[in-house]
Every structure is written in C-alpha cells, then in structure tokens.
Amino acid sequence: MLPLDEDDFAQVLKEAQQRQRFPRAPVRIADVMSRLLARKGYAQLQQGLEWEAAWSDAAGDQLSKNSRVGKTNRGVLEITARNSAVLQELTFQKRQLLKKLQAAAGANNLRDLRFRVGEID
C-alpha cells in the first residue's frame, strides 16, 4: 500500500465530508418489502388467498363448494356462484355473510358483496 501524502488525505477528507452533507435516512425493510410486493403483484395474490379462507369460513362447506371468491374493487367483493339456485341462496344470506367477512377482514374495508353466476373451477 502506498503512503498517502497531504493532498491525497485532503481529497479523501473532502469526499467524506461531501457524503455527509446529504446523508440518506435508513429505509425500513418493511417499507422496501411492501413496495416490492406491490410492484410484483404478490399483495393481490396474498389478499385473494385471505379472502378465500374468510369466504370458506363465512359461507360454510356447501356454499363455499358451489361458489368462489373473485376480485375486490373499491370495497366490493365479487362472488361467483355455480348456478342461479346458489346465487339466490347467497342473496338471501348476504347480510350475514357480509358481517362475517367484515369481521374476518379486519383492516380491509369491505362494504358490499356482488354475486354473479359463472364457471367454478
């Protein structure tokens, strides 16, 4: 290693002082992970899995087998029913299902349920 003369030392000191003028605040790892998950779409996938679990608990075995959870848009959760008879039963139980889902959702702002007939995989 070469010895440093006074000019080199002054240059290193000056660079160190410049870096200290505009220090960056540390970023929490939770914030970094949150942005990454949102950017990659994993947050929607995770939320969908949470809604599926909550729907299975709220609707019970028979209704959850004949329906599936769709997407959430502005606080409205879309539920797809296998046929019109299931859709009608879901409509009759809408208030109870909404209350159960709101209790299970916690921080998610669920305002309403929308039912439609469609294909269930």
The boundaries of the domain holding residue 104 are: 50-121
Which of 70, 50, 61, 48 shows the shortest CA–CA distance to 121? 70
- Tell me the CA distances in angstroms from 53 to 17, 69, 107, 113, one per residue in order: 55, 10, 16, 16
CATH code, 57: 3.30.300.180
Q: What is the pTM of this model?
A: 0.62
Whether the per-residue pLDDT at 109 is higher than 90: the answer is no
Give per-residue pLDDT as tens, 69-79: 988 888 899 99
Give per-residue pLDDT as tens, 10-55: 888 888 777 766 667 778 888 888 787 777 776 666 777 888 888 9
Q: Count of domains in the chain?
A: 1
In a domain, 82, yes or no: yes
In a domain, 30, yes or no: no
Measured CA to CA, the distance from residue 36 to residue 42 in angstroms comes to: 9
Measured CA to CA, the distance from residue 54 to residue 105 in angstroms comes to: 7
Which of 69, 63, 67, 52 shows the shortest CA–CA distance to 104? 52
In a domain, 32, yes or no: no
